[in-house]
Amino acid sequence: MEKIIGIDLGTTNSCVAIVEGATPTVIPNRGGYKTTPSMVAVTEAGKRLVGHIAKRQAITNAENTVYAAKRLIGRKWNSPPVVAAKESAPYKVEEGPHDDVRIQLRDRSYSIPEISAMILQEMKIITEDYLGEKVEKAVVTVPAYFNDNQRQATRDAGLIAGLDVIRIINEPTAAALTYGFGKKIDRLVAVYDLGGGTFDISILEIGANEVFKVISTAGDTFLGGEDFDTRIMDWLVQGFADEQNVDLRKDRMALQRLKDAAEKAKMDLSVQSETEISLPFIISAGHNEALHLQRILRRETLEDLCEDLVSRTIDICSATLKEAGFETGDIEDIILVGGMTRMPKVQQRVAELFGREPCKGVHPDEVVALGASIQGTALLDEASEMLLLDVTPHTLGIMIVGGYSEELIPQNSTVPTARSKIFTTVRDNQTAVKILVLQGESERAEENELLGEFILTGLRRAAKGQVEIEVTFEINADGIVSVAAKDLETGQSQSINVTASSGLTEDEIRKMAEESQDYLVDRRMSEEFEAARQDTERIIRELDRMYEDVEKMVAGSEFGQEALSKARDIIARARQAIEEKDLEQLKNTIDTLKRTRKMFKGVLARS
C-alpha cells in the first residue's frame, strides 16, 4: 500500500508519524528527536533553516527567525492575533496584498502558508530520510476550532510544500483515534488539548465498532503556552524595570533571551517547585557596563500569574459539556494533549473539573501525529472499517438585511454536511445577487469571520420574486466550505468557490510551490554535495598522510613516479571540484581517489 504520513503541524513543535505494519510510529528527525520546533529562519548568507537549527540560532538572529506562525495562519491583517504579533514578535510582520499577513526575512517577504509549508516540507524530508523512499501523501491536523480561512490556508501550505494532503483532521479527534485505536471499547471521552498557541476541548464517543464520533468541540485559538511564557516575561520585565529602571522591551535580543528563559522556567516548574532565571549581560547600561537579570520563580507565583489562563480553559470545558447536555461525571476518560498539559496546575484543575484523573500513558506530544497517520492509513485502505465523524466547530451563515447573520449550518453539525437555501430576486430583471458567507456564532454579521463573498450572475431576467435560486452550502470532511447555486426553474447551476478573503491566489500558490520544489532540489543537491565533499576530503587526508612514505618507496621507479603524478592530479581535480561546487565532477573523482588509496596502501604493505 502507498505510504501516507500524519503530520501534527504545531504552534511550537511539529511531529510526523507513519503506520508501519499495524503500528503507528513517530518518526525521529536526524537529531533523534521525535518533535521538531516549528521554527524557520534565514541566515545572513540567505540559507534557510528549519527546526532545531533554526531554534538554536534564534537569539542571535531574532529578526529573521519565525516562531508560532500558526497563530497567524489564515488571519486577517487587523485581527487581534496579528496586532499582538506586530507588537511583540521579534520578526517583522507586514501587511500582504489580500488583507493578509507577511513576514519579512532578510530581503524577502513570505506569506504564512509559505512559512508553514517549510515546516511541512521538513517533516516530509524527515520521513524520506528515515524510510529511504519518497512520500507524497499526508493527513495534516489543525486545532478543532480553526475556521475555514485557517483550514484553507493550512491546505495551501500543504500544496506549497508539494504534499498531497488527502485530509485535514482536528487535533483532538486525532488524539482520540490514537487512544481508541485497536482497543475495541465503547467510551465517552474528553480530549483536553492545550498546546503552544491554542486550546481545544472535544467530547467524543468511541465505539467498539471503530466509529469515532465527535459530539461537540470548542476552544480558543488564541490561548496557549505562549501566553504563559508572556506572563513570565512580563513579570521579569516589570521586576527589572522596578529594580533597574530599564525597559528590556526595547531590545529585541534581550526579548528573545527572555522568551527562551521564560519558557524554560515554565517547563522546569512542571517538575520543580522553584527555578532560578539567570540572564547575565541582558542589556547594556552604557559606559561599557552591562546589567544582569537574576530572579527566582516559584511554582505558586507562576500559578498565580497564569491563574486566569487556566480558568479560561476550564470555563470553556464546562460550557461545552453543558451545551452538549452532559454532566462532568458522564465523561469516562480524559485524554490530555499538548505540552502545556504537563503543568501540574493544569492537570489538577482538569481532574477537579471532571472528578477523575486524566489517562496516563498517552504521550501528549506524539498522540496527534499518530492519530493523523492512523486516519491516513484508514483512508487509503479500502478494507478499513474505521469511521471518523467530526463536527464543524462554527456556525455557517450568510449576511441578511440589517447586518444580521442567518444560520445555515449550526455549530457542531456532523461533517460532511450540506444545507440549501432558496433566494428570490428582489428587483425586476435582477441579474445578479451578492452573497456574503460568514462563520461564527454571533447574530451580528460583523462579529463573525467573513469567509468570502460571491456574486451569482447571469440570472434569468424576470419580474422580482420570480427567479428562485437554490444555494447549497457544503462543508466537506476537511471542514472546508464550498457553495453551489441552482436556478430552480431552468435547473441551470453554477458552482462557486468561496474565495477566502485573506487567502492566496491560485497563481501565487503555484509559484510558491514551484519555488519550494526548487528549494528541495537545491537542498538535496547540496546535501549530496556535502556528503561527497566530506568523503573526498577524508580520502585526501588519508592520501596526504601516506604520501611521503609512498614517495620514498617508489623513489627509483619511473612507473611509481607516474602513479604519484596521477595521484597529485586527481587530488588537484577533486579540490577544484570542491572549490567550484561541481557535484558531477566531484562524483567522478571519488572512484579514482579510492583506487589511488588502494594503490598507496598496497605500496606501503609491501614495505
Residues near ligand AMP (CB under 6 A) are 10-13, 195-196, 225-226, 263, 266-267, 270, 338-340, 342-343, 365
Give 404's strand partners: 400, 444
The nearest distance, CB 116 to ligand AMP, in angstroms, is: 14
CA distance 503 to 63: 25
8 classed as catalytic: yes
Q: Which residue spans within 352-507 are E strands per DSSP? A: 387-391, 396-400, 404-409, 414-415, 417-424, 433-439, 449-456, 468-475, 481-487, 493-496
CA distance 328 to 208: 22
Considering the candidates 114, 148, 193, 365, report the single residue annotated as catalytic: 193
70 classed as catalytic: yes
CA distance 184 to 174: 17
The nearest distance, CB 336 to ligand AMP, in angstroms, is: 10
Please give the grid coordinates belonging to residue 307.
491563574
The nearest distance, CB 332 to ligand AMP, in angstroms, is: 24
The nearest distance, CB 328 to ligand AMP, in angstroms, is: 24
The nearest distance, CB 15 to ligand AMP, in angstroms, is: 8
CA distance 305 to 541: 58
Residue from 70, 69, 113, 9 nearest 502 by CA: 113
Q: Measured at CB, which residue is nearest to ligand AMP?
A: 225
Please give the grid coordinates belonging to residue 552.
620514498
Task: Return the number of the residue (68 or 321) whose C-beta is nearest ligand AMP.
Answer: 68
The nearest distance, CB 142 to ligand AMP, in angstroms, is: 12
φ, ψ of residue 576 in degrees (nearest 5): -65, -40
Give 295's strand partners: 277
Crossing angle of helices 171-180/367-380, nearest 10°? 80
CA distance 23 to 300: 41
Considering the candidates 3, 8, 390, 449, report the single residue annotated as catalytic: 8
The nearest distance, CB 224 to ligand AMP, in angstroms, is: 6
Give 37's strand partners: 13
CA distance 377 to 371: 10
CA distance 586 to 128: 25
CA distance 399 to 402: 8
CA distance 466 to 477: 35
Considering the candidates 3, 55, 70, 266, report the single residue annotated as catalytic: 70
Question: Per the omega criterion (within 30 degrees of 0), is the bond before 393 cis?
Answer: no
The nearest distance, CB 340 to ligand AMP, in angstroms, is: 4
Task: Return the number of the residue (74 or 195) whose C-beta is nearest ligand AMP.
Answer: 195
Please give the grid coordinates belonging to residue 280.
547575565
Give 234's strand partners: none
CA–CA–CA angle 304, 340, 167 (5° rounding):
145
193 classed as catalytic: yes
How far the first Cα of the chain sits from its last, in Å, is: 58
φ, ψ of residue 150 in degrees (nearest 5): -70, -35
The nearest distance, CB 350 to ligand AMP, in angstroms, is: 14
CA distance 299 to 171: 29
* Torsion region of 161: left, alpha or beta (phi above 0 gives left; psi -120 to 50 gives alpha): alpha
Q: Given the DSSP bridges, would you call strands 481-487 and 493-496 parallel, antiparallel or unpaired?
A: antiparallel
183 classed as catalytic: no
How far CA 449 is from CA of 235, 410, 437, in Å, comes to: 34, 15, 9
The nearest distance, CB 121 to ligand AMP, in angstroms, is: 19
Task: Return the number of the residue (24 or 37) whose C-beta is nearest ligand AMP.
Answer: 37
CA distance 70 to 326: 32
* Coil vs helix vs strand at 386: coil
Considering the candidates 122, 148, 171, 390, report the single residue annotated as catalytic: 171
Active site residues: 8, 70, 171, 193
